[in-house]
Structure 1
Amino acid sequence: MYRPKTTLEQWRILQAVVDYGGYAQAAAKLNKSQSSLNHAVAKLQGLLNVQLLEVKGRKAFLTEAGEVMLRRSRHLTQDVEELEALADSINQDWEPEITLAVDLAYPRAWLYPVLADFLPQSRGSRIRLLDTVLTGTDDAITEGWADLVIGGGVPRGYLGEAIGEIYFEAVCHPEHPLAQMPFPLDPNELVHHLQLVIKDTSASPQEKQGWLKSELRWTVSQFHTAIDLLCQGIGFCWLPCHEVSALVQQGKLARLSIRNSSFRKHINWLVVPRPDSAGPGTKLLQELILTHRQLQAPNPVNPGLAAEE
């Protein structure tokens, strides 16, 4: 039988040194001495006879071989975590707590009937319902800290079920200068006006979605704060139609007709980050969300046709 030369702890230390930017930072995060981390990585390199890191100044950098090995090691440590989580799931009849991460744009009116149906069958399981935004929603999947995730995309390497679609529209106060201009607006006109944006909940946000070219931007954490500012005549913002349609009808906000971009459609997806270790409560909640989905499931015989009701 093959006996590994290396240990999971050595690979975990290597990952920490890279992720936190050096030995000192990793030592602080792992609550270990810097010398023990140096020794662990040096031993790992010696056992493999491969240089994984090279130190330049005070920072450690991956070698070309190190990049390959690190990438593969992440699969290894993740597999072990999932294996242990699976054991926990097998050993417990019902999860004491289920974490559901939901992108802020997903209409809560679609979610509440699901939770109402879940409650009588929940067997006392607690629900942690957490709001996420953009990259923060992806983090809930890739970092595995949520049992179920509803968001606007599916990260690479994961599977998801489409459960609904929402539309975003650009709005401002009816007396805002943008609302006084002839429609459709040239997108370049927006550059010179304050844009309100919703804060990405990720610890490492990536500005890769949406129109973010305005020279002046204010960031808020909730749609309601953005709406309050808009109603004061401050800025413009892309917001979900279900959040602003009543205010538009009341004349408190105005839709902006923008050339080539008046509306944006987003598909909502349900993702189970760790399907192999999902407990019975998580599976039940997943089934209920799919039962209440706002999109028809594709026809299994002809995916191009909507399923018959």
Structure 2
Amino acid sequence: MPSPRDVLTPDALAMLQTVVSAGSFAGAARTLNLVPSALSYRVRQIEDALDVLLFDRSARQARPTEAGAELLREAARLLADIDAVANRVKRVATGWEPMLTIAVDSVIARDPMLDIVGAFFALEPPTRLKLRDETLLGTTEALTTGEADLAIGTVLNAGSLAFTTSGILSRPLGELRFIYAVAPHHPLARFEGALTEDILRQHRAVAAADSSRAGPSMTVNLVGGQDVLTVPTMQAKLAAQLHGLGGGYLPEPMARPYVEAGHLVQCRTARPMHSVVLHCAWRARSAGKPGRALEWWLAQFEHEGTRRALLERHRGR
């Protein structure tokens, strides 16, 4: 006996749709240029393989049973999926990647990032996107290990040691300044003067964990001997500091709306405020230019407004 896989072919599913649209086996047979007995035999083969009745044959019209109606609903979806796959394959053959994986550092503003994703989808490309949340060297590692095709917000550029043998290219996004901030009810919020390392050591710091899994990890602006609350992302670090769970450096554009609203207090530190230059980086093909999806994304970073938005337009601004 044929199995369901043997009988549930695209042609068979289309045949069942024709029976329903024609309203009878005789009408469907004429449409399909078959004799009625041949059509009935093919339908019976499907029913035998599934061990169900697909049509109520007690009337002149071919009315789907409940099981038949369910199969027809799935048939419409499956046939649409087949058409979509065929179209996707045709477009991939024109230079579009099947999948583009993007590692996004947690200092990057999410709303403008998703705006770019929306603009990409508006092209109706065959390329599927996968976004990865990363922090610090984890953003770099996703690229060098081949788990990502593009990294946005990496602290390393193409000349860095981690990239020199990996076929990595990069371009700067811009400079991001950090400020030290605490919640208004935190003890350091009332401190007058610059915070020295001795003072900071007496209070808990909040740190965003480096998402690197295979290589070395990076810690930034922590004082030796200081109690540390480690959270997974920069957004979680901001939330922890808003709750008064510790202090620490935050990207100025991310923290500024909360400082202006009185939900955070910016503190002076004896250590000068620091800034970092962030980059976008990507893996170069061994031959030829980037795929069309990566090429489109790289073109977005040529616009200063886009680069600034990714670094500065955090929610609340």
- TM-score computed with the length of structure 2 as normaliser: 0.59
2:119 partner amino acid = D
Q: Is the 8 A contact 1:165 1:294 kept in 2?
A: no
TM-aligned CA deviation for residue 285 of structure 1: 1.5
Q: Is the partner of 2:121 in helix, strand or coil? A: helix
Contact 2:136 2:210 in 1 (8 A): yes
Per-residue deviation, 1:102: 1.2
Which of 141, 145, 148 matches 1:146?
148
Equivalent residue, structure 1, for 2:293: 281
Counterpart mapping for 1:66-77 below 5 A? none
Cα distance, 1:271 vs structure 2:
0.9
Q: Is the 8 A contact 2:137 2:155 kept in 1?
A: no
TM-score normalised to structure 1 length: 0.60
1:239 aligns with 2:250: yes
Residues 110-149 of structure 1 aligned to structure 2 (within 5 Å): 110-149=112-151
The answer to whether 1:294 aligns with 2:307 is yes
Cα offset, 1:133, TM superposition: 0.6
Q: Quick check: 2:106–2:235 contact (8 Å CA) kept in 1?
A: no
Report the residue type matching 1:272 in the other structure.
Answer: W
Q: CA deviation at 1:236?
A: 0.6
Where do 5+ consecutive residues of structure 2 fail to align? 1-91, 309-317
The answer for the alignment partner of 2:110 in structure 1 is: 108
Tell me which amino acid in the other structure corresponds to 1:119: F
User: Does 2:259 match 1:248?
Assistant: yes
Kindly tell me: are residues 112 and 290 of structure 1, through their superposed partners in 2, closer, same or farther at Cα, counting changes over 3 Å? farther
Residue 257 of structure 1 pairs with residue 257 of structure 2: no
Residues 101 and 129, structure 2, Cα contact 8 Å, conserved in 1: yes
State the aligned residue count.
Answer: 205
Specify the code of the residue in structure 1 equivalent to 2:228. R
Aligned-pair distance for 1:91? Answer: 6.5
Q: State how 1:161-240 maps to structure 2 within 5 Å.
A: 161-204=171-214, 206-213=216-223, 214-240=225-251
Kindly state the Cα deviation for residue 159 of structure 1 after the two structures are TM-superposed. Answer: 3.1
Q: Report the CA distance shift for 1:129/1:269 in structure 2 as closer, same or farther (over 3 A).
A: same
* Structure 1 residue ranges without an equivalent (≥5): 1-89, 296-309
Q: Match of 1:194, as an amino acid?
A: R
* Percent of residue pairs bearing the same amino acid type: 23
Offset from partner CA, 1:31-63 (integer Å, 9 cap, x none): xxxxxxxxxxxxxxxxxxxxxxxxxxxxxxxxx
3-state SS of 2:302 partner: helix
CA deviations on 1:57-87 (whole Å, 9 max, x unpaired) are xxxxxxxxxxxxxxxxxxxxxxxxxxxxxxx
Task: Name the aligned partner's letter for residue 295 of structure 2.
Answer: K
Going from structure 1 to structure 2, the CA distance change for 1:118 and 1:159 (only over 3 Å counts) comes to same
Quick check: which has more Rg, 1 or 2?
A: 2
CA contact (8 A) 1:103 1:132 kept: yes
The one-letter amino acid paired with 1:174 is: P
Q: What is the aligned partner in structure 2 of residue 271 from structure 1?
A: 281
Q: RMSD across aligned C-alpha pairs, in angstroms? A: 2.3
- Tell whether the 8 Å contact from 1:103 to 1:152 is kept in structure 2 after alignment: no
SS in structure 1 at match of 2:122: helix
- Give CA deviations for 1:164-203 in whole Å, capped at 9, x if unaligned: 2222211111232222222222232111211111111111
One-letter amino acid matched to 1:185: L
Asked whether the equivalents of residues 141 and 215 of structure 2 are also in contact (C-alpha less than 8 Å), the reply is no
Displacement of 1:100: 0.8
Given that residues 99 and 128 in structure 1 are in contact (C-alpha distance below 8 angstroms), is that contact kept between their aligned partners in structure 2?
Answer: yes
Q: Match for 1:166: what amino acid?
A: L
Following superposition, the deviation at residue 149 of structure 1 comes to 0.9
Residue-by-residue CA offset, 1:127-156 (whole Å, 9 max, x unaligned): 111111111011022212211111122242
**Distance of 2:306 and 2:297 partners within structure 1:** 12
Summarize the Cα distance change of 1:119–1:238 in structure 2 as closer, same or farther, 3 Å threshold.
same
